[in-house]
Chain A
Amino acid sequence: MSLTDNIEADGFDLKALLDPEAAGEVIRVMQICNACRYCEGFCAVFPAMTRRRQFDEGDVGYLANLCHNCGACYHACQYAPPHEFGVNVPQALAAARNDSYSAYAWPAPLAGLFRCNGLFVTLGVSAGLAITVGLMLAMIAPQLFWGIHLGEGAFYRIMPHTMMAAVPLAISTFVVVSFIMGWRRYWRHTGAKWGGFPDLVDAVKASATLRHLGGDTSSGILSGPGCPTGDDGSSNARRIYHQLTMYGFLLCFAATSVGTIYHYGFGREAPYGYFELPVVLGTVGGIILCIGTAGLFVEKRRLHPAVRHDEGLGMDYAFIVSLFFVSFTGLLLLAVRETSFMGVTLAIHLGVVYGFFLILPFSKFVHGLYRFAALIASAGEARRS
């Protein structure tokens, strides 16, 4: 029994989710590509395309999220502007992809938050920051807030652990539910099929190496040419920075999880020693996350204008910058935790983290979710064809 069978029952309208203009352009372009197919070695999009003769809206959602926006097919295309066919696959798919984020968003009434996303994410994270810092300043006695606290439980002298954990628990419940619902909407809209465990393994591999951002699916992890920087060069920089970001994020996540296990499993309270697992994971994760996001920021600016989707830039930058702040404030906390700035830095870090996680389902974070889903579907299709 497939995953989709389980959820066939509840009926939201999955037709006409996408903007007809964005979807129409993808269909137009895919029809040209499907008669050409020169780009089939670049990524998973073209093989998925050749498995179809006609494209409906669900296919658009699928292909858009399968595309990694590497730009290779634009610079290779003999039909790219100024040719009258005006083919620009990365641009067409990026527009549909960004549109799909609001189409799949849950709760649906908040989908509009994807439209002015840069502003929303900035406001969301700032609000998290302002509220947390404000509340802590108001509620914690100044000598405590600005004091020096050392040893186990030092953080919790400033903010009780139950508070520090309850807020994220509430937030993450919302986030997880929202992700599950978004995933379901994606899955049903695109008509994806669950083909079993091997598809999942393939998708994990493709994400772990970001194979499809390498400019050549058949090449090894770093032996691919990378993303074109124009028609005159290519580089693996985006791929490397992305993986620093992604692994950095995962390490930070692991650090928090291990910390939670220490706390509840072994009754050991933070802060932990510099060489203990949660701190090592967090420090390494934080540093590479900082480097990765800074690198992605620079690469984003260098992206070829024809490939860069300008309407989505606000969302992209907001996500990159807020991730940077999450990691940077975390590292800062580590640096000042034995000084009197610990209180205020803790407040800032927690504020940014709370804000960031709250808006997660309405930020570019969802790209990972839907891309991963698309990779599972494409692995399955490839196996079955």
Chain B
Amino acid sequence: MPNEITKPIVEKSWDIIVIGGGNAGVCAAITAAERGCSVLVIDSAPRDMRGGNTRHTRNLRAMHDEPTDVLTDRYSFEEYWEDLMRVTKGVTNEHLAEVTLRGSQELTHWLGARGVRFQSALSGTLNLSHTNAFFLGGGRAMLNALCRHAESIGITFIYDAEVTNIELENGFCEAIDVEWQGQSLHLNCKQLITAAGGFEADLDWLAEGWGDAAKNFLVRGTPYNKGKVLRVLLDRGAQMVGALDQCHAVAIDARAPKYDGGIASRIDAVPFAVVLNKNAERFYDEGEDFWPKRYAIWGRLVAGQPDQIAYAIIDSDGVKRFMPSVFTAITDNSIEGLTSQLGLDPKAAKKTVDSFNAACPDGPIDQMVLDGRATNGLNARKNQLVSANQ
């Protein structure tokens, strides 16, 4: 039986129900409400943890032909297009890409008009101000502003409410089932928008794409994106795009929480480090290209190593060169001491590091250019930024 809180929600026939209170859901809800629809947004997280991965977001990438108050210089359609094609290796829906890129011109203005604040251009610590606009206070602050605006135009939110089923009739949504307030409720709507994120918090599902390695993954985003809505849609015949093992996998600190570790858990040390796997072997060129261009390949690389773990060994000179980490580094005066603290075979580690050092040329390094300072004659060559010399 609906109670006092659930009754008004259940009895109403909503024009639109939005599943998912992240950026996608809330923006869709606002757009609909601004056109006069009655809108309900359902989020499975409690209010304090609302907004899925959006609460972890730092910035957005937007095309612009002239400097704006929040973006420097210009980021043309062509430049954006090239960046996208390079990152996706050309596997891109070109029509969708064009719509998105051109639409991004309006983004900061659209969000700004709805109360979202950006850091002024040039004040960011990351040197990305020509491509990316930074939310003042990050994604959670942006989401707070959007939700505030949404509520002010009459949108209703319910939290801690998980959608478990979608009833489709001839391809049209009739109603949905929600677990809310300890009850299973049946909500009617004229149209449904699903924006309930991915399935990254469901490790079993990830394992379908990644195998057992997935069990050791740390999910730095929300624990609430379990893909339940995706599963229902797929079961009802929706078509899947992409592949099960495609995701943005970055290297994060092994001491980070299982879920929700967010940005602060990332490892920025790789180009300044010698990275060893569990067997104290190097497995990839740590200095292949500029950081952060190579930032997003290291999750996948570490996922391919035994037990999905690796160790970034940094010398005293390297420590100053990257953003500080949230977890205190484990330190020691010798490679053997350090690696035995880490539970690695000290002899093997020493051998790997010695042969690395032996292959290093002497002299200063410059982290801002590909300086051509590379190791010679190793299995996993290291280009650039040779800085381990203990």
Q: Does A256 contact B (CB under 8 A)?
A: no
A34 contacts across to B, CB distance below 8 A: 323-324, 326
Pick the residue among A39, A53, A83 that contacts B49 (CB under 8 A).
A83
Q: Does B227 contact A (CB under 8 A)?
A: no
Nearest chain A CB to B307 CB, angstrom units: 23
Q: Does B144 contact A (CB under 8 A)?
A: yes
Whether A76 contacts B138 by the Cβ 8 Å rule is yes
CA of A82 to CA of B260, assembled, Å: 11
Whether B138 contacts A78 by the Cβ 8 Å rule is yes
* Interface positions of B from 373 to 387, Cβ below 8 Å from A: none
Nearest chain A CB to B376 CB, angstrom units: 32
Q: Does B112 contact A (CB under 8 A)?
A: no
Query: What are 25 inter-chain pairs, A to B, with CB distance below 8 A?
Result: A31-B326, A35-B263, A35-B324, A36-B263, A37-B125, A37-B323, A38-B58, A38-B135, A38-B139, A39-B137, A50-B125, A72-B141, A75-B137, A76-B140, A78-B138, A79-B264, A85-B257, A216-B136, A218-B123, A231-B144, A231-B147, A231-B148, A232-B148, A232-B151, A233-B148
CA of A41 to CA of B320, assembled, Å: 23
Whether B137 contacts A35 by the Cβ 8 Å rule is no
Q: When each residue 106-144 of chain A gets 1 if its CB lies under 8 Å from chain B and 0 otherwise, what string results?
A: 000000000000000000000000000000000000000
Q: When each residue 89-126 of chain B gets 1 if its CB lies under 8 Å from chain A and 0 otherwise, what string results?
A: 00000000000000000000000000001011001110
Q: Does A73 contact B (CB under 8 A)?
A: yes
Q: State whether A79 and B138 are in contact (beta carbons under 8 Å apart), knowing that A40-B125, A50-B125, A231-B144 are contacts in the complex.
A: no
Q: State whether A225 and B125 are in contact (beta carbons under 8 Å apart), knowing that A36-B263, A41-B137, A76-B140 are contacts in the complex.
A: no
Whether A42 contacts B137 by the Cβ 8 Å rule is yes
* Interface positions of A from 63 to 122, Cβ below 8 Å from B: 72-73, 75-85
CA of A261 to CA of B325, assembled, Å: 59
Interface residues of chain A, those whose CB is within 8 Å of chain B, are: 31-32, 34-42, 50, 53, 72-73, 75-85, 216, 218, 225, 228, 231-233
Nearest chain B CB to A230 CB, angstrom units: 9
A-B pairs, top 9 by smallest CB distance, nearest first, are A38-B138, A76-B137, A76-B141, A218-B120, A35-B326, A41-B119, A35-B264, A36-B264, A231-B144
Q: Which chain A residue shows the least CB distance to B46?
A: A82
CA of A83 to CA of B257, assembled, Å: 10
Q: Known contacts A37-B125, A40-B123, A41-B123; can you find 11 more A-B pairs with CB under 8 A? A: A32-B264, A34-B323, A35-B263, A35-B265, A36-B138, A75-B141, A76-B140, A80-B48, A83-B49, A225-B117, A232-B144
Q: Which chain A residue shows the least CB distance to B323?
A: A35
Pick the residue among A73, A83, A84, A233 that contacts B137 (CB under 8 A).
A73
Nearest chain A CB to B128 CB, angstrom units: 13
Q: State whether A53 and B324 are in contact (beta carbons under 8 Å apart), knowing that A41-B136, A42-B136, A76-B138 are contacts in the complex.
A: yes
B139 contacts across to A, CB distance below 8 A: 38, 78
Q: How many A-B residue pairs have CB under 8 A?
A: 96
A35 contacts across to B, CB distance below 8 A: 263-266, 323-326
Q: Does B56 contact A (CB under 8 A)?
A: yes
Whether B263 contacts A38 by the Cβ 8 Å rule is yes
Whether A82 contacts B324 by the Cβ 8 Å rule is no
Nearest chain A CB to B227 CB, angstrom units: 21
Q: Chain B, interface size: which category?
A: 35 or more
Interface residues of chain B, those whose CB is within 8 Å of chain A, are: 46, 48-49, 55-56, 58, 117, 119-120, 123-125, 134-141, 144, 147-148, 151, 257, 260, 262-266, 320, 323-326, 328
Whether A216 contacts B117 by the Cβ 8 Å rule is yes
Whether B262 contacts A78 by the Cβ 8 Å rule is yes
Nearest chain A CB to B160 CB, angstrom units: 12
B320 contacts across to A, CB distance below 8 A: 53
Nearest chain B CB to A164 CB, angstrom units: 52
CA of A37 to CA of B325, assembled, Å: 11
CA of A325 to CA of B81, assembled, Å: 66
CA of A225 to CA of B149, assembled, Å: 14
Q: Which chain A residue shows the least CB distance to B49?
A: A82
Q: State whether A84 and B141 are in contact (beta carbons under 8 Å apart), knowing that A35-B326, A78-B56, A232-B147 are contacts in the complex.
A: no
Whether B326 contacts A32 by the Cβ 8 Å rule is yes
B46, B117, B136, B257 pick with most chain A CB within 10 angstroms: B136
CA of A76 to CA of B119, assembled, Å: 14
Nearest chain B CB to A92 CB, angstrom units: 15
Q: Which chain A residue shows the least CB distance to B326?
A: A35
Whether A83 contacts B260 by the Cβ 8 Å rule is yes
Q: Which chain B residue shows the least CB distance to A33?
A: B264
Whether B119 contacts A218 by the Cβ 8 Å rule is yes
